A and B are shown apart, each in its own frame.
Chain A
Amino acid sequence: MSKNIKIPAEEVLIQVQDLGLSYGSVRAIKNITMDVARNAVTALIGPSGCGKTTFLRCFNRMHDLYPGNHYEGRIIMEGQDLLGNDVDLTELRAGIGMVFQKPTPFPMTVFDNIAYGLKLKGILNRTELTDRAEMALKHAALWDEVKDRLKSGASGLSGGQQQRLVIARALAVEPKVILFDEPTSALDPISTSKIEELIFQLKKEVTVIIVTHNMQQAARISDYTAFMYVGELIEFNETDVIFTNPNVKLTEEYVTGRFG
């Protein structure tokens, strides 16, 4: 039995090959090799400090914002190495959106939050902006709640609504991938279940990679789960296998709550 599942080539969107990342002299993650399936949810789980967020942030090169970080290996998406020097980071981050733990709406109106990214992409036509904003808000299951207050400040929305606004903002620029870094850890159970339902729906259109501390959440919404420990990938498998009958002892100890 292999500890890492092999996803059929036609379903693979991203290939992670021997990925490593060092903060200065500290190697935060190392030797990660796994595939990310297209139009599926891949969850990264593991105890605090295992490197799952570090791993997530490699996909859209967030580590480049700080000096002294050094990548190893490759992340291949559609034939291109995302870690290559020739990658346009702004374009990369439009194609691979990110949603953080705490909602990060811009200090502007609901509508402008969505239009912001579209304008950056050069869409200035008012009608098109309105249409695409409406579509994004509908996709993010927020439209009905905000359609009458598009011109109000985004900070007036509840935490759960703000988080869905951020998701709508990411969706508006039609990304291929959305990275979620513990998107519900600051939300109440009802908002959490709305976001979970949304992520589940989203995979029809985008590929999702999610870091979560909530194992139930990973079990509920993901198709594949990667279990990480001290910077290494311990087991990568179908979520059902990870939570019912994992192949690696360490994974079993973690999912049964015996450590971590």
Chain B
Amino acid sequence: MRHQETEYTDLRSRIAEMGNAVSRMVSDSVRSLVERDDEMAKDVIGRDDAIDRMDVEIDEHCLRIFALYEPKAIDLRFIIAATRIIVDLERIGDHCVDICKEVLKLNKVPPVKPYIDLPRMGELAAKMVVDSVNSYLEKDSDGALELIRRDDEVDHLNNQILRELVTYLVEDLRKNQAIFSLMLVAKGLERIADYTTNIAENVYFMVSGNIIRHTPLKETEDEAHTDN
């Protein structure tokens, strides 16, 4: 194998590793909420340092590839996408930390309500993290577009949860602290899903060379259809 290929393979496995670690943080954050598990929440918070380290290491790795191999075409876009994806993954990690901090507060007070939509939202967001990273590793632009569509579902759940929480708040103002925490948790999960769509946009760019960050999804889909 060429030396350059070894570097790319190494980069792929590092991104896969970071993606796995971050998606586990997302699902564990939600578990710590549902199971009222302080230990798990603290554990997730503690794992963020490792994510930050991976972010820096992968960034340096990409820099080295740029300097030594001056990648072109698909290789260039592959490395550019990597440098952007790790930023999104790192931010997702930060959101998990924020969620877990809210969980620690929530676990000190009696539960406001049974959690139904929040775990569902958490599951969707964690799956989106895994799928976005996989679409990068597999250079799958269709998968990336599919993922952008799935964000609507998370947004919808978020709105539903917020409406529901507002009703609880109106019913019993004494629960305001807990309700605000839950709102922040929902918002955090919604942001996580947004970051996965950023990743998906970078995957689409990597595969097609087209920047779709500011293009409506419908337009991109129509174009992708015409190109095929």
Residues of A at under 8 Å CB distance from B?
A: 1, 215-216, 219, 243-246, 251-252, 255-257
Contact = CB atoms under 8 A, between A and B. Distances in A.
Interface string B200-228: 00000000010000000000000000010
Interface of B: 2, 4, 69-77, 209, 227
Contacts of B70: 216
A244 B71 contact: no
Nearest to A251: B73
Contacts of B69: 257
Contacts of A244: 72-73, 76-77, 209
The binding surface of chain B is classed by DSSP as helix
A245 B77 contact: yes
A41 B209 CA distance: 24
Contacts, number: 30
Given A219-B72, A244-B73, 10 more contacts: A243-B72, A244-B72, A244-B77, A244-B209, A245-B73, A245-B77, A252-B74, A255-B73, A256-B72, A256-B75
Nearest to A245: B209
A216 B227 CA distance: 30
Contacts of A219: 72
B183 to A, nearest CB: 43
B209 A256 contact: no
Contacts of A252: 73-74
Contacts of B227: 1
A245 B77 CA distance: 9
Contacts of B209: 244-245
A215 B69 CA distance: 12
Contacts of B75: 256
12 contacts: A219-B72, A243-B73, A244-B72, A244-B76, A245-B73, A245-B209, A246-B73, A252-B73, A252-B74, A256-B75, A257-B69, A257-B72
A257 B4 CA distance: 9
Nearest to B209: A245
A255 B72 CA distance: 6
Nearest to B208: A245
Contact of B71 (A245, A251, A256): A256
Nearest to A252: B73
In the complex, the 9 A-B pairs of residues with the closest C-beta atoms, listed nearest first: A245-B209, A255-B72, A256-B75, A252-B73, A243-B72, A255-B73, A256-B72, A256-B73, A246-B73
Contacts of A215: 72
A5 to B, nearest CB: 15
Nearest to A256: B75
B87 to A, nearest CB: 21
A243 B71 CA distance: 9
A108 B160 CA distance: 87
Nearest to A216: B70
Nearest to B80: A244
B141 to A, nearest CB: 13
B69 to A, nearest CB: 8
Nearest to B72: A255
Nearest to B78: A256
A222 to B, nearest CB: 14
Contacts of B71: 256
A168 to B, nearest CB: 31
A256 B2 CA distance: 12
A244 B71 CA distance: 9
Nearest to B227: A1
A16 to B, nearest CB: 25
Contacts of B72: 215, 219, 243-244, 255-257
A245 B73 CA distance: 5
A219 B209 CA distance: 17
Contacts of A257: 2, 4, 69, 72
B29 to A, nearest CB: 38
A1 B226 CA distance: 11
A257 B65 CA distance: 14
Interface-central residue, B2, B69, B75, B77, by most chain A CB under 10 Å: B75
